[in-house]
Structures are given as structure tokens and as C-alpha cells.
Structure 1
Amino acid sequence: MMRCEACNTDIMNNNCIKCTRCNKQYHTLCINLSDEDLQNEKTSNKWLCPHCRSKQPKGDNSNTPVRPSTPTSMADITFNVTRRKVNQARTEPQQIASLSTESWRQEIRDIIREEIRDALQETVGALTSTLTANLREINEEMKEFKVSMNFLNSEFEKLKDDNTLYRKEINQMRKENEMLRFELTDTKRKYDQIDQSLRANNVEIQCVPENKTEKLLNIIKQLGRAVNVSINENDIQYCSRIAKMKPDSIRPRSILIKFNTSRLRDNLLAAVGAYNRTHVQYKLNTHDLGFTSNEKSPVFVVENLSPENKNLHAAARIRAKELKYKFIWVRGGRIYMRKNETADKIFIRNLDMLNKLT
């Protein structure tokens, strides 16, 4: 890249001219050339820079008279003397000296003005060239900044649109989630109802001691005889010990009985309840079932609840102790509570309802 010999800065555009003798380049502003002068100089192809122009002769001296080689006294010289009129006023020496001093001063003033003008032109040219280069750089940087801002603005608009879309999708997913949660709760409730209805013929005998040689049918028949209910083998569809809900519990496994009809199940539960009411001091216990070798320990005959209802029943018993509710019972797979003899019964549907009790 070429540099201007006047301002010593890089030449960035075509507004420059090259010296035809030294091949040095100059800004047009630095040498004070107009566009018209620039076109004329480039067309003539004879432009010289100020440095080369200063080395040229001031004019053609080929016609300058040469002093003759012969002595002046011997040369044939013709003098052209103009005689002034006698009556023309002669210039006084002081006036001549005054005129010479004034012209000298005027000449110095002109020289100073010219030097100042040249210096100002050179300074202004250098400043103009520097400012032009700086402005060009600033313009380039502004263009790049504008491009960057346009890119960032477009990306921000995309993010804004995506954010709006994602918000709509999230709201839609929330609605769908609430709907699915409601459907899941409803499905779970229906499943629990179906599960409990399938246990309508079942009954559990709890706290009966276990024995490897035990015969569960004999225990069940003895239970029927104790509470005055006739139970035959043909009335029983299935009977077995069931696994504990809490493996670390010391209580023996419960006996599950599945009757052929729910009526027989209800009769057995009603008879056990009547037996316990008539034998308040000695409610149904292991001796009633033929276990004479052990101490009298209570035996409970209850409905076979689903796992969900068993957990709810256990929570209801704990809550009843906290609130000092006097009665809690199960009827038809449903859990009821009553605070005292005069209070209304409360059907416990779920844990939320249980926690709202006061």
C-alpha cells in the first residue's frame, strides 16, 4: 500500500496523483488539486510534485546575452540614453528611501502571507486526510456494528417467537397433565372399587396362631360353631394364610377365606359381632377356636380389604386416637367413623378427607 509523501498516511482511494518523474504519490487534498485539475493533470501525464518542480530552472536562459570575451573598453557598445525634461521634478533621496522601505515591507508581508497560506493548506490537507481515513474506518466499523445488531435483533426475534411457542406448549402440557392426573385418580378410584368388590365374599381371621400341621378347614368350622354359624366345606371356595403387610411384624399371618356367597360372609361377620357384644369380658379368642395350650389371645374376624383401603383404615385408626373419636368400623369395604354415640357417622373416602377432620 502506497503512502502519501505530504501527510505520510496510507492512500485508501483513487483521489491521488503520481509524480511523472519520481513516481511518488500524493493526496489531491494535500496538494490542493480540484477534481477538474486532477483530470487535466492525469490527462497530460506531465504532473510534477513540488519537490521535482523546485529543481527545474525558473525559465529559458538560452537568449540571455553573454558577456563578450573582449574587454569592455574595446567593445563597440551603443548606449540608448533618454534625456529627461529639464522641468521634470527630481526625486528626493529621502522619498526614494521611503518608497524602497515600504515596498520591501509589502514584499515581506506577501511572503509571510504566502508561507502562512502554504502552511495552513498543508496542515489542513494533512488533517483532512487523517480525518478522512479515520472517518472511513469509523464508517466501516459502523457498518459491521449495524450488521451485528441486525443479526442479534433477528436472533432475539427468533428466541422471542420460540419462547412464545414454548409457553403455549407448556400451558397445553399443563392442561393435559391436569387432565391426565384427574383421569388417573378416577381410574385408580374405580380400580380400588373393582378390587374391593372382588373381595365381597372374603373374610380375614387375624391373630390365629400358626402351626405347621394345622388344618385351616377345621379352624374355620370351629369358628362357625363358636359363633353359632353353620359352615360346610362346600361353602368355602378358597382358604389360605396370606403374606404380612409388614414382614417384621410378630403377629401370625392372617387366614383368608373366600366363601361362595357374600351372604354367608355377612352372616359370619354379624355373628362374630353379636358374640363379642354378649361376651364383653371374654371376646372371641384362641380358646374358642380350640387352642387350649396357649393363653387366651383375642381373635379378630374382619372384612378382606384391598391394600389401599387397608392403609386408609390404619390411618383412620391413628387419626381417631388423635381426635378422640370413639367409634371406627368397616362395612361393605367402606370405612366409617363417629365421634360419639350422638354424632353422625362419617364415610372416609380418602386421606384428604381424613386430614380435614376436626
Structure 2
Amino acid sequence: MSLNAYQNLKLSNKPWQCCVCINITRRRGDNTNTPVRKPNTLDESVMSCDVTMHQSEMECSVSAENHTISLQQFGVLLDSRLERFKADFFSDIKASIRSEIHLAITALKDEFTVTVDFLEEGQKRINGTLAAAVERVSELECNKNKLQGDIYELERRLKISEKTSRSMNIEIQAVPEKRSENVVGIFKKICDVINFPISDTEIHACRRVAKINSSSNRPRNILVTLPSPRHRDNILSAVRKFNKDNPKQTLSTFHFGYSGETKKMYIVEHLSPECKELHSLARRFVKDKAYKFVWVKYGQIYIRKDEQSSAVLVKNAEMLKRLL
């Protein structure tokens, strides 16, 4: 019996009968001796009318419970539904994320492959450029070493040439300047004072030269060109002899009648600007380090600590530093 039929039966207050009883033929009057249909033989599995009715009531009760459930049962059912929904939801999310990550990784791999290929190509170009640059640098270093050797050789030859070109010159320093002076007459008078007379024909050139340091207050030097290096050496020897013979009155403006303060005059070899600079450093070194002697001979600079020590040829400023 269905749930609706059972509920209608209860509402009509009619007695309920099982299907077996309904099939029995009903007769009016006294039906005691009336034969009835032989009922079907039921085995143990066939329930009686009461059992069948109880079962139907249970089914109806269960059916009714299926339509009206308690709050606890509703919570349990809702939890189970939510668990299934959550499991399905997370499964879908995981699948979606896995798919997106796979796509992202694939795209990243493609981009990384393109980037690596680009970098590799750039690295190859850089390596090629670097190899060419290294080769070029090596070539330039070889050229530089060769040029340095050539420059050193040219400097050496230039120094020799300058020394040779100056070998016939003498330089007169600290001679006061006058507006209309006769430098040839001054030189000839110097030669007379040192007792080494010279004729006009032996003087190839005599003139004032520009200052190396234009801010200096010293007068310009007088440069004299002689016929030969022998003439130069003889004049220098005569000057040294004169100063040695007259230690209290060495060659100065006093011997030429210049008015004013007496100033010492110097007659030296004509040196190149580099040699003059080195000579200045050597004089400063001798003064600071208590050396006694510094002199120039044949365009070369010498120093000596005292009378017992040997002379030292000063070739460059580095030698002076090593003597400290």
C-alpha cells in the first residue's frame, strides 16, 4: 500500500484488511457452512496479515520519515552533501590549476628556450668580438713595444745630435741686460778678464736667448757659438782657472763695471732643456744631502759626496732617488 492510500484510509476510519482477506467471498446471512476458498499455503517467508500490516506500517513510517526528517539528520545529510561538493570542487580546482600550471610551464619553457637561444647567439657574437679584440690588443701591444723601442732609439739619437750641435756653444748666465748692449763686446771682455783673448773671426754667433721660465727675474742668457769644441773647452778651463786663482773675487759684474750690486756670473756648457732640468735636480740634491761637488762635463752631469768618494754620473732623476 502506498503512503497516500494509507493516509486516506486513516482519515476515513475504515478498517484495514490485507489482500488475502479482501479476496474471500462474502455472503449475506449465515455463512458458517459455506465453503471458502482454500488459502494459499505460505511458507515461513510469507508473513501473516498482522506481520504484513506491521511491515506496511513500518514502510509507511519510513516513507513518512523520508519526507519529514529531524534537524540532526538534515545536518548530517547537509554535511555529506557539502563533503561531496567540496571534494568535487577541489578536484575541479586541482584539475584547473594543474591545467593552468601545465600551460604556464609550457609557455615558460618556450620563452626560456627562445631567451636561451637569443643569449647563446649573443654570447657567440660577444665571444667572436672578444677574440677579435684580444687579437687586436695583442697586435697593438706588439706595435707599442716596437714603437717604444723606436722612440727610445730616436730619443737617444736626438740627445746625441743635440749634444753634438751644442758641443761648440757656451752659455753666459747672469749678465745684466741693457737696451743698446753689444753682446759680442761683452763676451770679448770676458775673454780678456780670464786671460783668453779671442778674435771676431772665432765668434760664429753671439746673442741673447729666450728664457725657459718666462716668469723668472734673471736676465736672458748669452749664447756664443765657437769654431770648435776645443775653443769651448779652452774657454771653460780658463774660467775655472780664473775662479780658482781668485776665490774671493770670482768672475762677476764687478769686473765689467756694472753699477749696483755685484752679482756672480757663470760660463757653462750649453745644455739641452732636459739636461738643465736634471742639472737643477742634481744641485738641489747636493745641497739637501750634504754632497760637496756637482759639475757638468761634455754634456754629462756628475756629483761627488766628498774628496775621497768617487764621482757618480747622473743619467736621470731615478738615480738621484736611489742615492737617498
**1:87–1:300 CA distance, 2 compared to 1 (3 A):** closer
Task: Give distance in 2, aligned partners of 1:340 and 1:245.
Answer: 32
Q: Which of 306, 316, 323 is 1:350 aligned to?
A: 316
Query: What's 1:211 paired with?
Result: 178
- 1:194 corresponds to 2:161: yes
Please, which moves more after superposition, 155-164 or 92-101?
92-101
**1:122–1:327 CA distance, 2 compared to 1 (3 A):** closer
**1:294–1:119 CA distance, 2 compared to 1 (3 A):** closer
Please, which moves more after superposition, 205-214 or 163-172?
163-172
Task: Give distance in 1, aligned partners of 2:119 and 2:131.
Answer: 18
Give ranges in structure 1 of 5+ residues lacking alignment.
Answer: 1-83
Query: SS at the partner of 2:107?
Result: helix
Deviation at 1:201, TM superposition (A): 0.2
One-letter identity of the residue aligned with 1:191? L
Query: SS at the partner of 1:239?
Result: strand
Query: What's 2:18 paired with?
Result: none
Query: What's 1:262 paired with?
Result: 229
Task: Give distance in 2, aligned partners of 1:314 and 1:201.
Answer: 22
Query: What's 1:337 paired with?
Result: 303
Query: SS at the partner of 2:175?
Result: coil
- CA offsets, 1:106-145, max 9 Å, x none? xx9xxx9xx99x9799765675456435523432233223
Deviation at 1:268, TM superposition (A): 0.6
Please, which moves more after superposition, 150-159 or 313-322?
150-159
One-letter identity of the residue aligned with 2:108? E
One-letter identity of the residue aligned with 2:248? Q
Query: SS at the partner of 1:224?
Result: helix
Task: Give distance in 2, aligned partners of 1:134 and 1:226.
Answer: 110
Task: Give distance in 2, aligned partners of 1:281 and 1:171.
Answer: 65
Deviation at 1:291, TM superposition (A): 2.1
One-letter identity of the residue aligned with 2:320? L
- CA offsets, 1:299-325, max 9 Å, x none? 211111111111111111001111111
Give ranges in structure 2 of 5+ residues lacking alignment.
Answer: 1-36, 67-76
**1:120–1:245 CA distance, 2 compared to 1 (3 A):** closer
- CA offsets, 1:286-309, max 9 Å, x none? 243x32545543221111111111
Deviation at 1:334, TM superposition (A): 0.7
Query: SS at the partner of 2:204?
Result: strand
| Percentage of identical aligned residues | 28
- 1:138 corresponds to 2:138: no
Q: How does 1:1-358 map to 2 (within 5 A)?
A: 88-89=41-42, 91-93=46-48, 94=51, 128=95, 131-160=98-127, 162-163=129-130, 165-167=132-134, 169-170=136-137, 172-174=139-141, 176-288=143-255, 290-291=256-257, 293-358=259-324
Deviation at 1:195, TM superposition (A): 1.2
Please, which moves more after superposition, 123-132 or 235-244?
123-132
**1:324–1:186 CA distance, 2 compared to 1 (3 A):** farther
One-letter identity of the residue aligned with 2:156? R
Deviation at 1:266, TM superposition (A): 0.9
Could you say which structure has the larger radius of gyration? 2
